[in-house]
Structure 1
Amino acid sequence: MRICSFANTATLLSLLVLALLQGCATTVVAPPPVIVAPQVIIAPTAEPESEPLVNQQITTIEDYIAQRQVDEARILLHSLSFNQLLTDQQTRYVLANANIALILGDGQEALSWLSGEYAYLLDGLPLQEQIALNLKRAEAYEFSGRSLSAARERIFLAPVLEGETAITNQEQIWFDLQLVPQEQLLSLVNTESSPDLTGWIELALISRTEDGELSRLQSVVEQWQLANSRHPAAKRLPRSLQMLTELTLNQPTRLGILLPLSGSLEKAGNAIRNGLLAAWYQARQYGQETPELTFYDTAANEDIGALYKQATAEGAQAIIGPLTKVKVQRMAGIQDLPIPVLALNYADSRVERVTNFYQFGLAPEDEAIQVANDIWQQGVRRVMIVAPDSAWGERVSDAFVRFWQLKGGVIASKAFFSQPDQYLTNIKNALNIQDSEERYQLLRRKLDEDLVFEFRRREDIDMVFMLAFPAQARQLKPILNYQRGVDLPVVATSILYSGVDDPDKNKDLEGVRFVEMPWRLAPSPIKNRVAEAFPESLDNYAALVALGVDAYRLYPRLAQMSVFNDVRIQGVTGAMTLTENGRIQRELDWAEVQDGLIRQVPATDLLQ
């Protein structure tokens, strides 16, 4: 029976224990008003007869957890004194806390119970319970963003798993390895001693280094199978890799590209076109089969539905585009799309999923959500937000806030700025410096004498999320430092970086960490090709060129991504996956300003 809300915890516990006592064989002599149940439960080992009551209470807690009634389970757990429980009760107590953390998606909290100071209680569990425990530990690693640790745990477990559990575990190994940075995999492949893990890493690297070209990817995977015939993944490839043969046989041979090639958005459309062409030429250079490309000017024909029908009638087997949000919205409203569409922007989030309709863009809101997710996984819980006082600033910062609060994080304060002459006041207010100064002035007036004064900022902030363009950030960060915030880690989105290494200007951003697309952080053959063939596109439209490159790499894999959530394509705009609503989600790299220069850093070191 579900326990509804009560006025307070004591009432809940009194009623619960009263019910338990009434169900026992022993007669309770004292009348109900005299029963002081919470005291008996809190100190169960003080009186031997209380042990069954504690066991029943823990069983009730476990029942609540099984029904995912976390609040009720927590209330009862908090009434117990861990140090006064028997050993088997302590073990159940630890597992209950770990299970609650896993339900809430708090991997760090779960690991503190499963692998921390209480781990000794779990060592003596029977084999099947140990297996279940290790699977929970792998899940906790996954929630905390430690994908390689999760994969190790699952690979270690694999030989003792059977049936559907073994298949699910193997698929999850593959999914976890897709999340491990390529640099980390490369450093491990020659040093790892476990043959099973080494084989998995080699296979994961193969899936990332073939530029998404399907026939070549399939060939290399088959070679790996022959060389590693005894490996578990060679005997049964991950399901997404099993689909490669079907994908290779059904690739489009003609693409219709819908872009604005004239009018006010001509330069933006040309930049995307140049990225597409650069990827197409690179594929031909590598001896790959390439589709015929036909470009349609969306600026010359406002009827996007008519253009789609025209491209289809002229033989297009897949569509890339359109670009503008309005046209993407119209395309999303077409219910019958016989050939797939990869739009280059996002429709309204309220639009229902349409078959054969995919959306891919460079939304700043997605970057804000990634920042929130990455810092949450590393234990940050209280954040100060610094953002422009504008519709754009509000929209992007709101994306961060919604995700953050859904996780359970706290927004300690906000500083919305507009004019440079207000930056200092905005920061001081957010850090409560004004309160400190006002207290000083009050004391000075009351005492009528000079005082030695050192202002203090609020201490309940773990990290600052800064949403600011380069010129703004170069003023805001020094102000933050001067207002006793030099020790606060600062994270940001890619708008912080102008794309130009300028040590003199960037020194004011020293230590700031931000997400950025690989295209802007490291050289690559495809980037060099664009620089040679279309140098004007890289001046002001580099991000759109990268969007075009990745659009070309995405379209052959859309069918595969629709079926399997472990397909992760390493692109120049980030690592790309497909969400349930048909949106391509990018995971960007992390970088830091060091000595005025931009350096890539691991996503696991954001608090250092």
Structure 2
Amino acid sequence: MIACLRLLTAFCLAALLAACASSPSSSLGELPRTPDASIEQLLERATSSKSAEDAALLRLSAADMAYQQKDFPRAARILEQVQVDTLKPAQQVFAVTLTAELAMSRNQPKAALSALQHPSLQHVPELPAQQQVRTYSVHAAALEADGQAMAAAQQRVLLAPLLSGQAASANHDAIWSLVASLSTEQLQQPANDPVLAGWSSLALAVKGAGTLEQQQAAIDDWVKQHPDHPAAKQLPTALTKLKELASQPLTRIALLLPQEGPLAGVARALRDGFMAAHFQAQQSGQPAPSVQMVDSSRIGSLDDFYRQAQADGVQLVIGPLEKPLVKQLAAKPQLPITTLALNYADAGQKAPPQLFQFGLAAEDEAREVSRRARADGMVRAVAMVPSGEWGDRVLAAFRQDWESNGGTLLAAERIAQPVALAQQIADLFQLRQSEGRAKSVQSTVGGSIAAQPARRQDIDFLFLAATPQQAQQIKPTLNFQYAGDVPVYATSNLYSASGDVNQYNDMNGIRFCETPWLLDSSNSLRQQVVQQWPQAAGSLGRLYAMGVDAYTLAPRLGQLKALPDSRIQGLSGNLGINASQRVERQLPWAEFAGGQVKRLPDTPR
């Protein structure tokens, strides 16, 4: 939202006082002129004016002046005094635009879009350029904040011919960012505007290419086919950076993992997955960098390690795995070599620009549950998570994503021992209150009455983060406590990939997110790895998948940084990089059904 408002401010700079000395045609009416008085003076003139139109123009100028001074409440109060439907079309456009800008200042894009439905907006192309810039800008910002990327891009395409200099470049890059964030299916939908269709075809060309070299070739081919398109005349900044990255191939990697200590087993799975991907690349004739193994459990100084790595010609470090070492790296202002850590520093810890962080974060899965439930039309949730720091992090991630997107978390329980589980679920669903009401009725009427306990009815689903053993107890208890009909959305922790039909039957109906590695046994690399290391078919497979994906990410970190909305389909999830350069995973879904694991359609993007 802040980014949207910054762009909006930049694009409206030319119309800072929201005024135009020249007027559109008389049938459209006169726009407010540049005010030559204070807000108080404008309001006094409006009060004493004998012309209703002049009074309205003065109040519009006053409201706009308050908006430009960031006194948003006062601007809204003044604007409320203007009867929009009595104005001429140009003045209506001005008032509606200001109403939308005020809604965006309150982080209310839907209210802004509602205001922009006014019929007067059909006259925007007939108005002076400054007003067009202002209206198209707020419309684009509201659509983007509302998740309507293609429609926002269309508004920016309309805006482009009206801009110059830095504002034009910013708008150019904003169009690319919007179309690049769309899925292939969305980009393939026909566009009425030929310029927007060109942007879509460029995004399709880039997304359809895998390596940096292939992307650069796809961009060059597109430019030859669309020489007159604005993006051909001036490539977006992100695509210009891709060309620079393509000229610097990755030839040497240091794999920094512990060979001793409590994380040695985890490190072996990561290393074996990484090297399996490396050998597959070599066998298929792809460019494969040399890999230097380094034992992080024997490193005395990270500074000494990086000095030696530089001397050895290392271009990328993958690791470390140990969280204390990752925190040390994150605390440094700069790193001499780009690094993909295989763990995360503390949330909110500022990291150097050369550090990327990748792990199987449970927070990613909590956000995935939020995204899926929202896509399924859910609004009100309750949650059950383990006690302790891990459960607190998972619940916090779910709550933040769920509530920031309009959902409501009604209640949450920390999973206790089995003896207390039934009571916890009864409390969560307020079954005891139902029983109490039945007893009260019995006491009032005398004698006994037939009454079955009833759960609270305002719960759409249960968010569950639990082990397989806990989930085996929770789902039957929900059934016993008259809450068996409540949908359960869970993280992958409850899936052991054991193939145990009895265990799966106890969790019948639970939906959960999981890595592609464990849900798609047909992947050829997975089959090779499982043949070599059978344990990779079980829950340890998630680590092998992460190792494979670390190899896949290695040459593409700069690519993902240059194209922050692009993603890579990995075996630990659909991978992207956020603003903090942390890899975030989006996951496919499955459901326990009849003792089997049934793959579900992917969550709509």
Instruction: State the TM-score, normalized to the length of structure 2.
Output: 0.76
Q: 1:22 to 1:563 in 2, by over 3 A?
A: closer
**What does residue range 461-500 of structure 1 map to in structure 2 within 5 Å?**
461-477=459-475, 479-480=477-478, 490-499=488-497
Cα deviations by residue, 1:11-57 (Å, 9 ceiling, x for unpaired):
xxxxxxxx8999358689xxxxxxxxxxxxxxxxxxx9999888777
SS at match of 1:251: coil
In the alignment, structure 1 residue 359 sits paired with structure 2 residue 357: yes
**Aligned equivalent of 2:25:** none
Q: CA deviation at 1:87?
A: 8.4
Q: CA deviation at 1:321?
A: 0.6
Q: Aligned letter for 1:225?
A: V
**Aligned equivalent of 2:293:** 295
Query: Where does the alignment leave 5 or more consecutive residues of structure 2 unmatched?
Result: 1-39
Contact 2:269 2:547 in 1 (8 A): yes
**What does residue range 452-463 of structure 1 map to in structure 2 within 5 Å?**
452-453=450-451, 455-463=453-461
**Aligned equivalent of 2:44:** 23
**Aligned equivalent of 1:180:** 182
**Aligned equivalent of 1:142:** 144
Aligned-partner Cα distance in 2 for 1:180–1:483: 43
Contact 2:578 2:584 in 1 (8 A): no
- Between stretches 369-378 and 256-265, larger displacement belongs to 369-378
Q: Aligned letter for 1:584?
A: R
**Aligned equivalent of 1:5:** none
Q: 1:90 to 1:429 in 2, by over 3 A?
A: farther
Q: CA deviation at 1:497?
A: 3.8
Q: 1:389 to 1:504 in 2, by over 3 A?
A: same
Cα deviations by residue, 1:316-361 (Å, 9 ceiling, x for unpaired):
2221110011121223344553222211111123533224222222
Contact 2:341 2:358 in 1 (8 A): yes
**Aligned equivalent of 1:207:** 206
Aligned-partner Cα distance in 1 for 2:192–2:567: 26
Q: 1:102 to 1:570 in 2, by over 3 A?
A: farther
Q: 1:374 to 1:138 in 2, by over 3 A?
A: farther
SS at match of 2:463: strand
Q: Aligned letter for 1:179?
A: S
- Between stretches 316-325 and 403-412, larger displacement belongs to 403-412
Aligned-partner Cα distance in 1 for 2:404–2:74: 20
**Aligned equivalent of 1:585:** 583
SS at match of 1:572: coil
Aligned-partner Cα distance in 2 for 1:156–1:500: 56
Contact 1:388 1:468 in 2 (8 A): yes
Q: 1:421 to 1:270 in 2, by over 3 A?
A: same
Aligned-partner Cα distance in 2 for 1:27–1:151: 44
Q: 1:257 to 1:142 in 2, by over 3 A?
A: same
Q: CA deviation at 1:260?
A: 1.4
Q: CA deviation at 1:365?
A: 1.8
**Aligned equivalent of 1:264:** 262
Cα deviations by residue, 1:200-243 (Å, 9 ceiling, x for unpaired):
445434434544x3223323332343344454434433322222
Contact 2:242 2:562 in 1 (8 A): no
Contact 1:490 1:511 in 2 (8 A): yes
Cα deviations by residue, 1:501-527 (Å, 9 ceiling, x for unpaired):
777755665665544444444444443
Aligned-partner Cα distance in 2 for 1:486–1:100: 46
Aligned-partner Cα distance in 2 for 1:110–1:502: 53
**Aligned equivalent of 2:104:** 102
Q: CA deviation at 1:256?
A: 1.1
Contact 2:160 2:172 in 1 (8 A): yes
Q: 1:486 to 1:208 in 2, by over 3 A?
A: farther
Cα deviations by residue, 1:267-309 (Å, 9 ceiling, x for unpaired):
2112211222233223333433222111011223454443333
Aligned-partner Cα distance in 1 for 2:495–2:114: 37
Contact 2:273 2:547 in 1 (8 A): yes
Q: CA deviation at 1:427?
A: 2.5
Aligned-partner Cα distance in 2 for 1:484–1:245: 60
**Aligned equivalent of 1:45:** none
SS at match of 1:242: helix
**Aligned equivalent of 2:342:** 344
Cα deviations by residue, 1:134-178 (Å, 9 ceiling, x for unpaired):
554443343333444544555576677665555434433332344
Cα deviations by residue, 1:68-92 (Å, 9 ceiling, x for unpaired):
5666667788x88999987879877
Aligned-partner Cα distance in 1 for 2:114–2:500: 43
Contact 2:156 2:175 in 1 (8 A): yes
Contact 2:434 2:455 in 1 (8 A): yes
SS at match of 1:257: strand
Aligned-partner Cα distance in 2 for 1:163–1:286: 47
SS at match of 1:465: strand
- Between stretches 289-298 and 333-342, larger displacement belongs to 333-342
Q: Aligned letter for 1:394?
A: D
Aligned-partner Cα distance in 2 for 1:96–1:50: 20
Q: CA deviation at 1:429?
A: 1.7
Contact 1:174 1:566 in 2 (8 A): no
Contact 2:84 2:95 in 1 (8 A): no
Aligned-partner Cα distance in 1 for 2:73–2:575: 36
Aligned-partner Cα distance in 1 for 2:514–2:476: 22
Aligned-partner Cα distance in 2 for 1:53–1:434: 63
Aligned-partner Cα distance in 1 for 2:531–2:574: 25
Q: CA deviation at 1:421?
A: 3.7
Aligned equivalent of 1:411, options 409, 412, 415: 409
**Aligned equivalent of 1:434:** 432
Aligned equivalent of 2:329, options 328, 331, 348: 331
Aligned-partner Cα distance in 2 for 1:378–1:60: 45
Contact 1:208 1:569 in 2 (8 A): no
**Aligned equivalent of 1:603:** 603
Q: CA deviation at 1:587?
A: 3.8
Q: 1:549 to 1:156 in 2, by over 3 A?
A: farther
Aligned-partner Cα distance in 2 for 1:478–1:97: 53
Aligned-partner Cα distance in 2 for 1:568–1:444: 61
Aligned-partner Cα distance in 2 for 1:462–1:101: 30
SS at match of 1:411: strand
**Aligned equivalent of 1:554:** 553
Q: 1:133 to 1:54 in 2, by over 3 A?
A: closer
**Aligned equivalent of 1:385:** 383
**Aligned equivalent of 1:7:** none
SS at match of 2:391: helix
Contact 1:208 1:570 in 2 (8 A): no
SS at match of 1:264: coil
Query: Where does the alignment leave 5 or more consecutive residues of structure 1 unmatched?
Result: 1-18, 29-47
**Aligned equivalent of 2:251:** 253
Aligned-partner Cα distance in 2 for 1:76–1:518: 56
**Aligned equivalent of 1:11:** none
Q: CA deviation at 1:461?
A: 4.3
Q: 1:515 to 1:234 in 2, by over 3 A?
A: farther
Contact 1:99 1:110 in 2 (8 A): yes
SS at match of 1:23: helix
**Aligned equivalent of 1:574:** 573
**Aligned equivalent of 1:527:** 526
Aligned-partner Cα distance in 2 for 1:439–1:76: 52
**Aligned equivalent of 2:7:** none
Contact 1:320 1:341 in 2 (8 A): yes
Q: Aligned letter for 2:601?
A: V
Aligned-partner Cα distance in 2 for 1:558–1:463: 37
Aligned-partner Cα distance in 2 for 1:342–1:445: 67
Count of residues in Structure 1 that have an aligned counterpart in Structure 2: 560
SS at match of 1:527: helix
Q: Aligned letter for 2:411?
A: S
Aligned-partner Cα distance in 1 for 2:457–2:54: 45
Aligned-partner Cα distance in 2 for 1:381–1:434: 24
Aligned-partner Cα distance in 2 for 1:293–1:452: 73
Instruction: State the TM-score, normalized to the length of structure 1.
Output: 0.76
Give the % identical residues: 33
Q: Aligned letter for 2:603?
A: A
Q: Aligned letter for 1:309?
A: R
**What does residue range 22-61 of structure 1 map to in structure 2 within 5 Å?**
23-24=44-45
